[in-house]
Amino acid sequence: MREREDNEPAGPATENRHWVVGHVDTPAGRVPRVDTRWTWRDRLGAVAVRWNIGRERYTVEPGLYAVGCPTAASPLLTSANYKLSFDTLRQALDGLVAWLLVLDTQGINVWCAAGKGTFGTDELVQRIAVTHAARVVSGAALILPQLAGPGVAVHEVRRRTGLRVVYGPVRAGDLPVFLRDGLHATPAMRRVGFALWDRLVVVPVEVVQRFAPAMLIMLALFMGAGVNRHGYRLAMAQWPGIAVAVWANFLAGIVLTPALLPWLPGRSFALKGAEIGMVTGAALWLFGQYGVPEGLGVGLLSVAACSFLGLMFTGSTPYTSASGVRREIRWALPMQIAGASAGLVLWLLVRWR
């Protein structure tokens, strides 16, 4: 690998980056210094990506950055190149000095990237080598996010880089106390919480992603409602009922499932969603005044739909794993397909009487 010249930048290119406020000279070259305060653009961007607007492009160039005026003894913290993760970290370090090493996680946050392997041992070691971070820090600790644990083999990083590796707290907000106390994390800092806000904050993304499929399903059901034994005729009178049923299941599966997650029986997300679907289907049957075959069909469709939507939240929780999610999908998806098919057949048969 070619060594950098003394006047060659060690950090990434930062043109048109409003959060860069200068540079720090290091033995490996110039490193961009980042602002720890969010501007209106950062806040607007954070809101937008919560609603899945520009999420795939909301990234930071991987490389080495500085917070304040760090020295060779300042800690080296790591982050994903998903900009919301990067912004949260730099905001938490307001008033402190540190180095930030941003890995190329392909725009994925730390937790998900660790599970998918993009926040992994090889990428971390390679990024340290490319940025010459070991020349910038001297004896300082390399601090990894605790949620990066599934993707990083600490002993291998130590062997290949010579750096001392420490896991930081779960939440970036605890970093000031963690650094002040000599890299000591309290039990509370190690505990992954999953409060109501943590569960609901992922809802807008799901709402946006599932909106178009819900519209298509609603249209397909409306078109299917016109089928009868005499041929076909648009059933305009059934349009309001179909719209209510579709959106009731849409909101129940996407909002109520994560909101009520701790109180729903069982550990399976498909099962928790199915329980919400049972209640939703029963309410639709009761208030929609369906007959038994049609009501049963609506109920089965509700159970299948909400169960499927419940599966969408497995990757946003602290008590699932990639292998566990795959196992759940293997048994849940066939049951959801079977339930939806049976419900659809019952719903259509009523129209042939």
pLDDT tens, residue by residue, 6-34:
334 455 655 568 999 999 999 989 999 99
Predicted confidence band of residue 139 (pLDDT cuts 50, 70, 90): confident
Contact 300, 177 (CB under 8 A): no
pLDDT top residue among 78 and 138: 78
pLDDT of residue 16: 62
Percent of the chain with pLDDT over 70: 93
pLDDT of residue 228: 81
Distance CA(266)–CA(279), nearest Å, equals: 16
- B/e letters for 163-189, b = 16+ CB within 10 Å, e = fewer, are bebbbbbbbbebbeebbeeeeebeeeb
pLDDT top residue among 104 and 139: 104
Record the tokens describing residue 178, joined without a space: 């963690």
Q: What CATH class has 20-190? A: alpha beta
* 75-112 pLDDT, tens digit each: 999 999 999 999 999 999 999 999 999 999 999 999 88
Q: What DSSP string runs through 33-60?
A: EEPSS--HHHHHHHHHHHTTSSGGG-B-
* 284-326 pLDDT, tens digit each: 999 988 889 999 999 999 999 999 999 888 766 666 666 778 8
Q: From 273, 284, 344, select the one nearest 310 (Cα to Cα).
A: 273
pLDDT of residue 8: 41
Record the tokens describing residue 142, joined without a space: 């390399």
For the cut 80, the answer to whether the pLDDT of residue 344 exceeds it is yes
Record the tokens describing residue 51, joined without a space: 């609603």
pLDDT of residue 192: 85
Residue tagged 């329980």 (tokens): 275
Task: Give residue 332's identity as a one-letter amino acid code.
Answer: A
CA distances from 238 to 280, 340, 346, 347 (A): 19, 20, 16, 12
Record the tokens describing residue 59, joined without a space: 């990234």
Greatest CA separation found in the chain?
84
Give the dihedral sign, CA 99/104/109/112.
Answer: negative
Q: In which residue ranges of the chain is CATH 3.40.50.11600 found? A: 20-190
For the cut 50, the answer to whether the pLDDT of residue 5 exceeds it is no
